[in-house]
A and B are shown apart, each in its own frame.
Chain A
Amino acid sequence: MAKIITVTSGKGGVGKTTTTAAIGAALARTGDKVVVVDFDVGLRNLDLIMGAERRVVYDFVNVIQGDARLPQALIKDKRLDSLFLLPASQTRDKDALTEEGVDRVIGLLAQHFDWVICDSPAGIERGATLAMRHAEIAIVVTNPEVSSVRDSDRIVGILDAKTLKAERGETVDKRLLLTRYDPVRAARGDMLKTEDVLEILSLPLLGIVPESADVLKASNMGVPVSIHEPNSAPARAYQDAALRLKGENIAMELPRQRGGLFSKLLRRAA
């Protein structure tokens, strides 16, 4: 039976889709069978980030409405054999997703995959609540700035109220993923500190992904950042996060300012 993950945030543009693709690819790289599901009906992007936009024929809404069978809509990744994408529809709106339809599709996916990763749309409306409905684990993607933290706090509240687990009186396992963390700005003090974010949201930390040009480069090329340049800082952060999801105990590494050697050599002006 699969572990069902929702990648959510409330606020837009914080890195949900990037995270979905990167964590999905990182998990698939370990050999697990992974499907990433785009819930952002009407504003789909996951297919672009995954580099699969040229192969979309059927989508999530087609499957829900019975126009296509699930295997017809699943797109296999070209780089990783065990990674699949269920794309969203661009031409419908979020009302095309029904509770029963989502239940059925997620139920089917859970039978065949080790991980089902749901990429939530921004906001707290229907699309977002449907994306979190089946979650066992929620990755709350947050940028170290006040508006993002407040929206994440709101989404955590919703995770505790509107998921199937909440309805059963259980709690969703919520993890904080801090993205677009800028060590230079953090050092200058014009960004929320990691400790502050952790204190406000009081969630266990899944990882810290540094702000990096590598992320944008990978997105533009349609390659999940965790496998684009596997040794880049954001790629390693996502790989570690994936391993933590698998239950491994990996020490948290705070992204540091570049040029460590020089700053060490010339630390003190005499």
Chain B
Amino acid sequence: MNAVSQTGPSIRFRGRSFMAMTLVADVPLAAWLADFDVWLQRSPGFFTGRTVVLDLAGTAQSKAEVERWISELATRGVRLVGLEGVRPSLVDAGMPPILRGGRDATLAAAEFAVAPAEARKPVEPVNLLVDRRVRSGQSIVCLEGDVTIIGSVGAGAEIIAGGSIHVYGTLAGRAIAGATFGASAQIFCSKLEAELLAVDGIYRTAEDIDDAFRGKAVRVSTDDETLRLTAL
């Protein structure tokens, strides 16, 4: 009797790949959990409905430890779909299966920013508007999009943007654009006195900025791995 050869409802298998997030464990467990709790407090509900793989490489030496990791995470609402970096002898049938051959993938920044409970809305471009002078020692960071400053940026102040930076005033501090979106970002200012300009990691300090642009309205972009300054 051969069941497989019988006609009837067929069972189909397909190979598909899914994106899972890997949580990297670290020792000691207690310290890691303390950090994790602090983090979770800031982003409650982050793990709701997420597929999570736990990477235990170099952290768990016994089955009891593996069990402890799984249960501690379960009490925090993290359901594991798989384990990585752990010896097969430490894992039994009741635990999530061991996964191999994972490849790194970039989790889009937007995926981290959007609360999982929210339905998908059309993505609105992020622009952080700062309607005051940015003073020495202050740091304005917006990795999700652009930063617009209505006012000046003092020497010793710092603007870091995922996208472009616009300064309607004197830019005397540091401007670091393209931290997330890379070379498409630009910097605009109505008066350039900057200590440092950077787009997509390519930087230039005040020393190397052509004096011809000092005090002028300037646009800064990247062009084939170099910074290009143009008068506005």
Query: What is the interface of chain A, defined by CB distance below 8 A to chain B?
Result: 42-44, 53-57, 90-91
Contact = CB atoms under 8 A, between A and B. Distances in A.
Which of B138, B205, B206 counts the most chain A CB atoms within 10 A? Answer: B205
A55 B156 contact: no
B136 interface: yes
Which of A44, A57, A90 counts the most chain B CB atoms within 10 A? Answer: A90
Given A56-B196, A57-B196, A90 B205 contact: no
Contact of A56 (B136, B139, B205): B205
Contact of A90 (B137, B206, B207): B137
Contact of A54 (B136, B137, B156, B205): B205
A175 B22 CA distance: 56
Nearest to B138: A91
Given A53-B195, A54-B195, A57-B196, A91 B139 contact: yes
Interface in B96-152: 136-139
B55 interface: no
A91 B154 CA distance: 12
B136 to A, nearest CB: 6
Contacts of A53: 155, 195, 206
A53 B205 CA distance: 9
A53 B155 CA distance: 10
Contacts of B136: 90
Given A43-B137, A90-B137, A91-B138, A54 B206 contact: yes
A91 B159 CA distance: 10
B157 A91 contact: yes
Contact count band on B: 10 to 19
B223 to A, nearest CB: 21
Contacts, number: 30
Contacts of A44: 156
Given A44-B156, A91-B156, A91-B157, A55 B206 contact: yes
Given A91-B137, A91-B158, 5 more contacts: A42-B137, A43-B137, A53-B206, A54-B205, A90-B156
A53 to B, nearest CB: 7
Nearest to B154: A90
A44 B173 CA distance: 14
Nearest to A93: B137
A91 B195 CA distance: 13
A56 B196 CA distance: 8
B168 interface: no
Nearest to B209: A54
B203 A57 contact: yes
Contacts of B205: 54-57
Contacts of B155: 53
B139 A54 contact: no
Which of B158, B195, B206 counts the most chain A CB atoms within 10 A? Answer: B195
A189 to B, nearest CB: 40
Contacts of B139: 91
A3 B180 CA distance: 43
Interface string B154-166: 0111100000000
Nearest to B140: A91
A54 B138 contact: no
Contacts of B137: 42-43, 90-91
B192 to A, nearest CB: 13
A147 to B, nearest CB: 26
28 contacts: A42-B137, A43-B137, A44-B156, A53-B155, A53-B195, A53-B206, A54-B195, A54-B205, A54-B206, A54-B207, A55-B205, A55-B206, A56-B195, A56-B196, A56-B205, A57-B196, A57-B203, A57-B205, A90-B136, A90-B137, A90-B156, A90-B157, A90-B158, A91-B137, A91-B138, A91-B139, A91-B156, A91-B158
Contacts of A55: 205-207
Which of B138, B157, B203, B207 counts the most chain A CB atoms within 10 A? Answer: B207
Interface string B175-207: 000000000000000000001100000010111
Which of B136, B155, B156, B203 counts the most chain A CB atoms within 10 A? Answer: B156
